């Protein structure tokens, strides 16, 4: 959906829940999914939601969008509701049709809902995204929305007091799912949290370290990481000697004579984003990259193995450009900052997500630990500057760090102390670094070897690894145990 190249913070589960490049990239790139059947076709509904849960005197409300699926629900055997939380994206019925969550809803005969996050998609609490309105965009308001939603639905559907709600989410909304169970244990019975970066961190320099490691691990014998390193060295050299030729090779939209210093940083950071996106969504069948041969193994073997490193890098950019449907390679930093500052409702959700990261989470994937692979063009100062440019001078490093410390203090970071929360992580996914690292009593963790961001959240497809399929089975088993229910097969 948001396929323009832009510095985006890659986090989505590539779908409504997902992002593609993170600093570039977007979130939802569900191409060509046609799996919506009558059964998985949602009923689109609106919930009257409170604007400010912190101020009882503020009676303002807004309309929050949700999808309802009541086809699996068995009124003769009621008592179970599955709720999928959207994160920093738009509700996507395509995603749901291909999700494991919908399969589980069927298997458990649950009433199912999929709830949009305030400000994103069509769930607009305010008339624009000015700073005065963005003050209502906090994770705590979102959790309070969710609790109020559960309350409202229980009433609307006349559900019994014994009804058990299970909340699901992936990536940022995986955080929300876990935090919802943590902060509202009486409202929600259990949570399944996939690929959740629970620990907020200003300088998330480990992210790109995992990208490099994963390049090495997933294409044995190709030494892909070394090829990338050599390509970067060659690129830097050529950039000094004949930048106009480089600009032509990479099909950059504007001539080198018009580049600013920031454009140069943006250029390097966008090239890095191609690798980040490649690794983060490696081999997840449902995200529509297969026909582009866009997986670590394919890219390393088809492109980096036999070409000279620089040529390989050019070819890889070409492939990414095609995948993301970019007519040329946009490196215009100021133009991008302009779009982050734009307060219009019709602007891409980037303004919202960057705001949340600058305020509460950080997650900035700096180049600090991977200088020899991708250069040192986007250290933490680069991100501080983005926060300040987009949201005002008050968004200094110190300001963000203090917000992040509050987040970790309030939710417990990776040491979250809850119960009946299932965490799922993939070893290839760079975000796993910020997640829980081990199972704890009543908070099991499934670690999927070789798997990418949110891979467990999609329905099973041909070509999925044994490890991912096993993880899906385990998720079902934990739910059977916690809910004291057996599913058919």
Indicate whether 342 belongs to the interface with ligand NAG (CB under 6 A): yes
| Residue placing its CB nearer to ligand NAG in the complex, 94 or 141 | 94
Look at residues 198, 210, 280, 212 and name the one whose alpha carbon lies nearest to residue 451.
280
CA distances from 255 to 238, 252, 291, 330 (A): 15, 7, 32, 11
With contact defined as beta carbons under 8 Å apart, do 416 and 198 qualify?
yes
With contact defined as beta carbons under 8 Å apart, do 16 and 89 qualify?
yes
Distance CA 267, CA 239 (A): 11
Nearest distance in Å: CB 345, ligand NAG: 8
Structure tokens at 367: 């180049």
| Residue placing its CB nearer to ligand NAG in the complex, 51 or 347 | 347
Nearest distance in Å: CB 172, ligand NAG: 24
User: Chain-centre distance of CA 215, in angstroms?
Assistant: 20
397-436 binders of ligand NAG (CB under 6 A): 417
Nearest distance in Å: CB 415, ligand NAG: 8
| Residue placing its CB nearer to ligand NAG in the complex, 327 or 417 | 417
Indicate whether 344 belongs to the interface with ligand NAG (CB under 6 A): yes
346-405 binders of ligand NAG (CB under 6 A): 346-347
Q: State the number of binding residues for ligand NAG (CB under 6 A).
A: 9
Nearest distance in Å: CB 45, ligand NAG: 18
Nearest distance in Å: CB 481, ligand NAG: 21
| Residue placing its CB nearer to ligand NAG in the complex, 38 or 257 | 38
Instruction: Choose one: 7-15, 276-284, 344-352, 365-373; the region binding ligand NAG (CB under 6 A).
Output: 344-352
Distance CA 70, CA 431 (A): 33
Which are the catalytic amino acids?
171, 429, 453
The DSSP code for 409 is H
Indicate whether 301 belongs to the interface with ligand NAG (CB under 6 A): no
Indicate whether 34 belongs to the interface with ligand NAG (CB under 6 A): no
| Residue placing its CB nearer to ligand NAG in the complex, 232 or 289 | 289
Indicate whether 240 belongs to the interface with ligand NAG (CB under 6 A): no
Structure tokens at 19: 């992002």
Q: Which of 293, 326, 427, 469 binds ligand NAG (CB under 6 A)?
A: 293
| Residue placing its CB nearer to ligand NAG in the complex, 58 or 344 | 344
> Considering Cα of 182, then 187, then 192, then 195, what sign does the dihedral take?
negative
Distance CA 119, CA 87 (A): 10
Structure tokens at 309: 């490193």
Q: At CB < 8 A and 24+ separation, what contacts does 403-408 make? A: 403/358, 403/359, 403/360, 404/200, 404/201, 404/202, 404/360, 404/361, 404/362, 406/360, 407/139, 407/200, 407/360, 407/361, 408/199, 408/200
Radius of gyration of the chain (CA): 22
Look at residues 87, 96, 29, 109 and name the one whose alpha carbon lies nearest to residue 356.
87
Q: Which of 292, 410, 478, 482 binds ligand NAG (CB under 6 A)?
A: 292
Nearest distance in Å: CB 183, ligand NAG: 12
Instruction: Choose one: 13-21, 78-86, 342-350, 384-392; the region binding ligand NAG (CB under 6 A).
Output: 342-350
- Which residues are at the interface with ligand NAG (CB under 6 A)? 38, 292-293, 338, 342, 344, 346-347, 417
């Amino acid at each position: 959906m948001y396929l323009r190249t832009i510095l985006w913070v890659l986090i989505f589960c590539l779908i409504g829940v997902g992002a593609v490049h993170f600093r570039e990239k977007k979130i939802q790139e569900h191409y060509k999914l046609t799996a919506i059947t009558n059964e998985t076709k949602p009923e689109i509904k609106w919930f009257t939601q409170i604007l400010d849960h912190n101020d009882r005197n503020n009676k303002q409300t807004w309309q929050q969008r949700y999808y309802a699926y009541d086809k699996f629900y068995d009124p003769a055997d009621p008592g179970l509701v599955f709720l999928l939380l959207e994160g920093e994206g738009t509700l996507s019925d395509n995603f749901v049709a291909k999700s494991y969550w919908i399969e589980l809803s069927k298997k458990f005969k649950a009433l199912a809902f999929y709830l949009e996050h305030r400000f994103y998609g069509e769930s607009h609490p305010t008339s624009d995204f000015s700073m005065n309105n963005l003050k209502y965009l906090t994770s705590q308001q979102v959790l309070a929305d969710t609790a109020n939603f559960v309350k409202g639905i229980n009433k609307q559907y006349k559900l019994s007091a014994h009804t058990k709600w299970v909340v699901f989410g992936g990536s940022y909304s995986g955080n929300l799912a876990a935090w919802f169970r943590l902060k509202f244990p009486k409202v929600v019975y259990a949570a399944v949290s996939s690929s959740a970066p629970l620990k907020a961190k200003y300088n998330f320099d480990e992210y790109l370290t995992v990208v490099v490691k994963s390049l090495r691990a997933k294409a044995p014998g190709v030494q892909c990481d070394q090829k990338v390193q050599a390509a970067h060295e060659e690129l830097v050299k050529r950039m000094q000697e004949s930048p106009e030729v480089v600009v032509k090779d990479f099909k950059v939209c504007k001539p080198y004579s018009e580049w600013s210093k920031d454009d140069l940083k943006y250029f390097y950071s966008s090239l890095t984003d191609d690798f980040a996106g490649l690794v983060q969504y490696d081999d997840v069948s449902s995200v529509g990259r297969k026909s582009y041969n866009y997986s670590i193994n394919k890219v390393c073997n088809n492109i980096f193995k036999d070409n000279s490193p620089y040529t390989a890098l050019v070819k890889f950019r070409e492939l990414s450009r095609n995948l993301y449907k970019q007519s040329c390679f946009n490196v215009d930093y100021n133009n991008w900052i302009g779009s982050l500052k734009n307060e219009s409702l019709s602007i891409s959700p980037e303004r919202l997500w960057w705001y949340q990261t600058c305020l509460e989470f950080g997650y900035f994937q700096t180049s600090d630990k991977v200088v020899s692979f991708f250069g040192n063009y986007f250290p933490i100062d680069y991100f501080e500057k983005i926060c300040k440019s987009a949201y005002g001078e008050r968004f200094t490093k110190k300001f963000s760090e203090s917000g992040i410390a509050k987040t970790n203090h309030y939710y417990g970071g990776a040491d979250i102390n809850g119960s009946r929360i299932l965490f799922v992580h993939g070893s290839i996914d760079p975000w796993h670094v910020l997640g829980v690292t081990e199972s704890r009593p009543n908070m099991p963790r499934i670690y999927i070897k070789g798997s990418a961001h949110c891979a467990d959240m999609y329905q099973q497809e041909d070509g999925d690894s044994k490890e991912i399929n096993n993880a899906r089975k385990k998720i079902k088993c934990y739910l059977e145990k916690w809910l004291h229910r057996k599913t058919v097969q």
